[in-house]
Amino acid sequence: MAKVILSEAEFLATFKAGDTFWYMTSCFSRPGCIVQATIKEFLEDGCWITTVEEPYGEKKHSVGDLTNQVHGAFTSKEDADVYLAERQHAYATDPELIAQAEEREGRIF
């Protein structure tokens, strides 16, 4: 089972400026891909961070968004890859998750 960070408090206790971490992207709650990021600095009492990412360059993220239930942060690429595969499988086979994602898509399109 993958070790995933799903709370702001755990993220702030785990990482500091200069650390590299991985996070999962999503689209309409469906798992997207894994992105590697290095924390450049913490902003606004740790609620926001600035990261340097390949190939995206510098980005600003909410720690709460990175650690919400449809994303997740990781200390290793291996854990990130395992969690992504678990979530992809769940969204491909769980009728409730499929329906939730389709409902979110329908609100946009």
Report how far residue 18's alpha carbon sits from residue 108's, in angstroms, rounded to the nearest whole number.
Answer: 37
**What is the pTM (predicted TM-score) of this model?**
0.86
Residues of the chain with pLDDT under 50: none
Report how far residue 50's alpha carbon sits from residue 71's, in angstroms, rounded to the nearest whole number.
Answer: 17
Q: What is the pLDDT of residue 102?
A: 85
DSSP state for residue 45 in the 8-state scheme: G
Q: What is the pLDDT of residue 54?
A: 79
Q: What is the pLDDT of residue 55?
A: 79
Which tokens go with 95?
């009728």
Q: What is the pLDDT of residue 72?
A: 94
Q: Where are the domains of the chain?
A: 8-108
Q: What is the pLDDT of residue 109?
A: 54
